[in-house]
Structure 1
Amino acid sequence: MSQIEVEGSQAMFFRILGPLAAAGLSFAPRQRTVLAMLLLDAGRVVAVDRLVDAVWDANPPSTAREQIQICVSAIRRALRAAGRPDAIVRQAPGYVLRCAADELDLLAFDRLVAEARESDDETRAAALLREALGLWRGTPIDGVSSRVVDAARVTLAERRICVLEEHVDLQLRLGAPAEMTELAAELAELVAAHPFRERLRAQLMTALHRTGRRAEALAVGRAGRKLLVDELGLDPGADLVRIEQAILAGPGPATPPVPATPLVPRSLPPTSRDFTGRADDLARLHALLAPAARGTAPRVVTLDGRAWIGKTMLAVHAAHALREHFPDGQLFARLGGADGAPVAPAVVLAGFLRALSVPAGAVPADPDERAARYRDLTADRSLLVVLDDAADERQVDALLPGSASCAVLVTSRRRLTALAGAWRVAVGPLTAGEGTRLLAEVIGRDRALAQAQDTRRLAEACHGEPLALRRAGARLAARPHWTVAASVDRLTGLDDDLEAELAEVHSRLSVAARRLLRRIGAMGRAEFPTRLCPEPSDVDSGSADDAMAELVDAGLLDLTRAADGEPVCRVGGIVLAFARTRERHPDRGGVVLALPTARAAHQRTPVARALPH
């Protein structure tokens, strides 16, 4: 069997690592595009707008959303006939295709690669990577014509070649000299197909040298140097130079080290297609994070604000926009600060080290050694590290790189005032204009323009909260027969998932803070002077101040100043809706809310009426 192009895999229901296939079913071209998009993000929501982009690119017809619905219905019927009636489910703002890892070759590939990278046994790791590569049957998603799918195809092909390089590294470490001849022949074909991949060229030089073909190995290196200089104006990287020097200096075939060109980590989540506004915040983040390195410490910026105000989305969008300033990659980690169970820095560091090409078996067990290794690896790199939802300063301190060439962007519901040398950017609500534009992106610009005044009224009712705007918009998008005007009164109640998350935060508050939140709910005002903040009757003023500070730290309340300088409290519409339920039901334990009657709906706050149920 070939050393690289491995064979065979178990039969799977869905396959996209080659021609698109689904248990032998046949689909029309548009249906194939929709199915491919759902499979590429299996287990995650794919927005209808994203499906429209994939099918029609920049020129969708006015009935595009309805045609997508027709395509999905046809795919569902075919899957139902094949024994998979519940594979595709509707979930705003789009659809989710649900399948297990052993039913989709892409999921199986990712699982096998992850297991290989976690393994301490190189022989087992090589076998797992061989099995993963055996799932490929040619050009990924072949037979689907779409600009969006084309971009995904390129990404998948890059992932395959990276895994192939990892597998070759293991073969070079584990393989007997007799196996090197076949490996060298296959590497020569790969280098011819990918002439600018220095890692493959270095691997070919190593394999040739180990078969005693020293002159050929050096010739491969010289050809690579000439190609890089002539075509790109670049000198060879450190691995090619090191291997060439080892071949020149070494007496025997075993001398050259196995190349270990680190991958450039790109672990940011995707940014949102409908990201809107925040121009001032983005400009400030660019000004703070983009400049060339100064001093000896990394640049650190914190984004803080109340729950669901859009901190994570802003951080991810800004990080993508800053990509060109950090050529050595971006690292991303969710720290779980709002969940009450923060992720230990040692766990995050282990993930960062693996992303920086440290084999799982080589990750130090001791947390301090992990931190030292992390600082060592980032010392000469230009990296952007995004730490989402930090619990406190200590959690962040342990994850800071050790070089001024790096930068760190942190989000938190708390103000991390003790984080030395950090710049703070407070994230507030969207303006009414930004909220209106966001709704227009979600429900469709033509629909928003035709009902411009009502769209703005709905945006104002959502109080600038991106989550409330997106959920209200998604509910409208799923009901094209609704008017925007009617939606303000029809979208009532508090989402079960949101209430469950808020209930978890609420459970960690002190008794005084819970009582204060209930009294704020009873007021029913989204903004009020701090002098009007209702103090719990059974606590002293100092404890009341502590309760207010606790709500601020929990991301449930904002403190700011009005134009005249008077301190002002602001509570988000989602939090206010939750506080009102606690005011009515202080001992509530469940998460299912009764919807208000039509008579009571007008008494609720505007944002509560705008939230989807």
Structure 2
Amino acid sequence: MSGRSDAPAGSPGRSRGPADEGPLAGEFRVLGPVEVGRRRRAVRIGGVKPRVFLLAMLLNVNRQVSLDWLTDALWDGQPPTSAVANLRTYAMCVRRWLAGSPEVEMVCRSGAYELALSPRRVDVYRFESLVADGRSALGRGDRLDAAARLTAALRLWRGPAGGGVPCGRPLAARLAALEEQRLAVAEECAEILLALDRTTEVIADMRVLLGDDPLREHAWTLLIRALHASGDAAGALTAYAEAHAVLAEQLGLDPGPNLLAAQRAVLNRDPVPSSWGRTEVVAVGPPTVDQEVPRQLPRPALFVGRDRECARLAEMVLADPGQARVVAVDGPPGTGKSALALRVAGMVTDRFPDGQLYADLGGPDNADPAVIIQALLRALGDPLGGVAGSLAEASARYRSLTAGRRLLVVIDNADDTASVDELLPTGAGCAALVTGRRTPTLDHADRLTVGALRPAEAETLIAALAGAERVARAPTATAEIARRCQHLPLVLRAVGALLADRPHWSLPEFLDTLVDGRCQLSDLRHRDGRLADVLSRVGRELHPSGPAAARLLGAIRRHGLSELTPSGAATLLTVTVGTAEAALDRLVDEHLLHRVGPDRYAPVGLTCLR
């Protein structure tokens, strides 16, 4: 088949539809590696030939499949002499895999096998049903429902149908037909999203699709139309040039009329037509007036670098729009976790049109989760959002209000699992970004750990705050200042603010004050106080659950330790080595120490600051 990626184009499904919750017991997946669902756990089938046999049967449920067809499907015209006996063995294997699955049976009659089960339990038939429902919705003019259903259909794909197993021509032809159907549905869905002005989604989907199959001329046309509609004329013309080159080099063809029409529209700066010769989108009535959409994200701070982290975090947030996404961002104090989360939140706001909510669990006014939820309820337009009630009642209302929306919720400075759980939205099109030094354990959450900036990024941040000309005059001093700041955004910002207030200082002069001790980085101030106060606050937060870890953190700071061992920590605390090891492990978990060797630990980040 033509699919060549484990993440097929269109499979991300950019709009929101019914969630694919994973395989239930007795469900079967063939749109990707062949899997059988066991208690919400996907079980991959072992053995290539038995897997191909099951794949062939699942693509022909409730139909008799002849031994001759199965022989060609498994051995492509070159069967072993024991082919029939082997098929019988594979059928026995399948029966064992299906044991315990309700209302499913593998039977053999009249020289053929038949797998009897409800087609709704096989993802390929759910895919076809969702596609039919989407086209029906489009026919009655409901583009939103059509996009949601087609997207839900595409999300069922986890890779090439059958997982790319080697098979004979009759089965390979069926798999190739499925791949072509997937690509056609992805293009059809893109047409609808274009009519809904969701160009960003179309651009992303078509780039992925063309990465799999660069010869699909209509996909190039859709990409050009989406880039043109988004105002990126240069990108649209570049895409046209790429399409022209690919078609000429690989097929010896010139662009067709639709591609040429797309190029002319860009060159003439014409309005984007609804369609160029393919799927016609049925118009619907004017939209209704919605309530005010909450836009609560704080103004992002000055941000430099971290391109890879931004891309990865955005990918994690948008990975599966059919499920409520939870992504945790953790790391040492001062690494800019909140700034990164807000940066990425701003990048993806168009994917969450029902609003963006923000909750700071570390803020002085937000100690009570019930108070936070009531504020979020008011933001969502709930008339009872300000009424006092129990946390359970407020949480239930919050879950109800978020269930049908596409919301992004940023939960900042989180450290308590129970509090965070109450704030997680439940809608299939929702996502939550949770930040914290040590973010709590959350079910089904992806995690990104953030460290210090790269040296060049740290120097760029100093230049942005203190002045590019000062940095250009003293690159060596700038690099050393950044190193002494541990390349931490929080420290770099404090230094940048100090230098901005003292424009008469050169960077070598400031470096001299650090070297001779006239200026202590830990005494510099940021917006919430001295940098040293950050670690003091961390110690106070640690003390209730980890008093030994809190005491050890203080001892490391007082003695200026650059490395320690469990026995050394035990001596510092006058405790047993076992208690010291537990304290060290806790500080590692809190991203305040890291292991540098067997039984050797070193401070990290602000813990190193002098």
Name the TM-score, length of structure 2 as normaliser.
0.48
Name the TM-score, length of structure 1 as normaliser.
0.47
> If you compute each CA radius of gyration, which structure gives the higher value, 1 or 2?
2
